Amino acid sequence: MRMILVGPPGVGKGTQAALLEQRTGAKPLSSGVIFRSEIEAETDLGQLAKSYIDRGELVPNGITIQMMVKRLRAPEIRAKGFVLDGFPRTVRQAEALDEELAKEDIRLHRVASLEVSDEVVVARLGGRIGCTKCGEIYHQVTKPPKREGLCDKCNSPLFVRKDDQPETIRERLRVFHEQTAPVVDYYEASGLLKRINGDQPTETVYSEIVAGLTG
């Protein structure tokens, strides 16, 4: 299974990516987790990415794409497939990804666009807490950790990510509408796109994502 999940912050892309991994073996790849693993492994790309993040700047497309492609070439990903979560974020990244996939002779099965209103996003993201180490996301109301302030998976401290503070949620939505919404139009033209109402139970969204897919 080789898939891209597109949608605003808080729509549940991470949850669906985790379900896809459990049930199909496809590996979730998000730029955040890839950045963290390259930075922790102190690779050249990781160090370069960190220099931008430390200055509060966006990691340039070229570096992000190189990290993604490095992961897409990994034997495990070749064998089991992948679910891109939160990438590509811009039409430019989508074009670059297409080129790289074509070079590697990797064919995408589907691009699922999970769609919800801004109001739903704001309600969902308030209360999110993330793990400092593994990237797992919890919610103070809908998915609390078993022990307050600690990750169930790796025992690391949890924190309200800067991304999930109220004043940044509106800004993230603005950036999403400006940069990422055109990515949906881009894939619409490819015939791979499926639009899904993201304001439904997790299992309903999941069955719509995989409907009609094999492999």
**Contact residues for Zn ion (CB under 5 A)?**
131, 133-134, 136, 151, 153-154, 156
Cα-to-chain-centroid distance, residue 27: 11
Peptide bond into 144 cis (omega under 30): no
CA-based angle 158:160:165, to the nearest 5?
A: 170
Nearer to Zn ion, 133 or 143 (CB): 133
Task: Name the minimum Å distance from CB 44 to Zn ion.
Answer: 26
Task: Name the minimum Å distance from CB 152 to Zn ion.
Answer: 7
Active site residue 172: yes
Active site residue 161: yes
Task: Name the minimum Å distance from CB 102 to Zn ion.
Answer: 36
Task: Name the minimum Å distance from CB 130 to Zn ion.
Answer: 9
Nearer to Zn ion, 46 or 135 (CB): 135
Task: Name the minimum Å distance from CB 155 to Zn ion.
Answer: 7
Of the candidates 8, 18, 44, 34, the one whose C-alpha atom is nearest the C-alpha of residue 138 is: 18
Active site residue 23: no
Active site residue 133: no
Nearer to Zn ion, 109 or 139 (CB): 139
| 146 contacts: CB under 8 Å, gap ≥ 6 | 152
Task: State the catalytic residue, choosing from 2, 13, 36, 194.
Answer: 13
Nearer to Zn ion, 6 or 129 (CB): 129
Task: State the catalytic residue, choosing from 2, 110, 128, 194.
Answer: 128
Task: State the catalytic residue, choosing from 92, 143, 161, 195.
Answer: 161
Nearer to Zn ion, 73 or 153 (CB): 153
Task: State the catalytic residue, choosing from 36, 89, 110, 194.
Answer: 89
Of the candidates 67, 60, 4, the one whose C-alpha atom is nearest the C-alpha of residue 31 is: 67
Q: What are phi and psi of 94, to 5 degrees?
A: -65, -40
Q: Are 187 and 110 in contact (CB under 8 A)?
A: no
d(CA 48, CA 60): 10
d(CA 111, CA 4): 5
Active site residue 195: no
Which residues partner with 83 through β-bridges?
Answer: 3, 28
Sheet with 137-139: list strands edge to edge: 137-139, 128-131, 158-159
Cite the active site residues. 13, 89, 128, 161, 172
